[in-house]
Amino acid sequence: MQIKSYPFTLKNEELLLLPEKAIWFPVHKILLISDVHLGKGAHFRKSGIPIPTKLSQEDLANLSDLITHYKPKKIIFLGDLFHSDINDDWNWFSLWRQLHLEIELILIKGNHDIISLELYHSLNIQVVDEMSLGPFLLLHNLPKKKRLEYILAGHIHPGIKLRGKGRQSLTVACFYFTPDYAILPAFGKFTGKACIEAKEGDLVFAIAGKEVLKL
C-alpha cells in the first residue's frame, strides 16, 4: 500500500499531515511530533508489568525513517518526549541522538518531561516551555487563557471512532483542527487515544494505516 500524506494549508502555511503521526513543514524543513513517550514500557516493567522491550526502539526507528525521507533541519517535539525518569531506554535514545547530530532538536516541555535539563542539554537538545513558528504558537497542552496565536499542541492523544455499516467500530488516531487550535496525534506506539467530539467548523483527519483521510 502506498503511503498517502495529506497536504493542508493552515493560516497560509503549507503543512503535510503524515500517516506516521507527524506534521511536515516543507518551507521550514521542520518535523513536528508530539507525545513520543519513550521509556514508557521500561517504566511499567519496573513495576513488574510485562511490556515488550522493543517499543521505544521501534519509535526511534520510525523517527529515523522520517529523517531519511524528509531530511529535516529541525525536529520540534510537542512535549512528553520521554515518559518518566531515566531508565534503560534513555541509552537507546542517546545512541539515536548521536546518529543525528546534524539536526536541531527542540523539546516543548510536557507534563511527563521530568528528566533534568542537564541531561537533555548533554544531548544538544533545547528545552523550552513554548515557542513560535510562523503564525503558530507551539505548546504541549492547551492554555487555560485564550492566546492570540493559533495553537498547535499535543497531550490529549486524540482519536476518532469510525463506524462500519453494521455495529462494528474502530477508534483510530487523528489530527484535530478547530478554529483556534489543533491537536496532534501521539507519535509513540505505547499510547492510548482519547475520543474527540468534533463540533461544527472543526476538521478531523483520521490516520487509517498508511493513509491520512479527511472525515
The two beta strands, 74-77 and 150-153, are: unpaired
∠ at Cα 64 (210, 154), nearest 5°?
A: 65
Is pLDDT above 80 for 121?
Answer: yes
The span from the CA of 20 to the CA of 33, in Å, is 10
Give the pLDDT confidence score for residue 32 in this predicted structure.
98
The span from the CA of 78 to the CA of 35, in Å, is 7
CA distances from 160 to 19, 35, 167 (A): 14, 17, 16
Domains in the chain: boundaries:
6-155
Is pLDDT above 60 for 120?
Answer: yes
Residue with cell 546518529: 99
Average per-residue pLDDT for the chain = 86
Give the pLDDT confidence score for residue 190 in this predicted structure.
55
Residue with cell 512535549: 79
Determine the CATH number of domain 6-155: 3.60.21
Name the burial class of residue 12, with classes exposed (0-12), middle (13-18) and buried (19+) by CB atoms within 10 angstroms of its CB. Answer: exposed
Give the pLDDT confidence score for residue 194 in this predicted structure.
79
Is pLDDT above 90 for 137?
Answer: yes
Give the pLDDT confidence score for residue 191 in this predicted structure.
64
In degrees to the nearest 10, what's the CA dihedral of 26, 215, 76, 190?
A: -140
∠ at Cα 39 (209, 56), nearest 5°?
A: 40
Residue type, 15: L
Give the pLDDT confidence score for residue 50 in this predicted structure.
44
Is pLDDT above 70 for 160?
Answer: yes
The span from the CA of 170 to the CA of 161, in Å, is 6
Residue type, 183: I
Is pLDDT above 70 for 1?
Answer: no
Q: Is 103 helix (H, G, I), strand (E, B) or coil?
A: coil
pTM above 0.85, yes or no: yes
Give the pLDDT confidence score for residue 102 in this predicted structure.
95
The span from the CA of 72 to the CA of 199, in Å, is 34
Give the pLDDT confidence score for residue 80 in this predicted structure.
87
Report the pLDDT averaged over residues 58-70.
92
The span from the CA of 4 to the CA of 40, in Å, is 29
Which pLDDT tens digit goes with each residue over 75-118?
Answer: 999 988 885 667 678 888 889 999 999 999 999 998 877 888 89
Give the pLDDT confidence score for residue 44 in this predicted structure.
42
Which pLDDT tens digit goes with each residue over 145-156?
Answer: 888 899 999 999
Written as nine digits, the cell of 26 is: 516543507
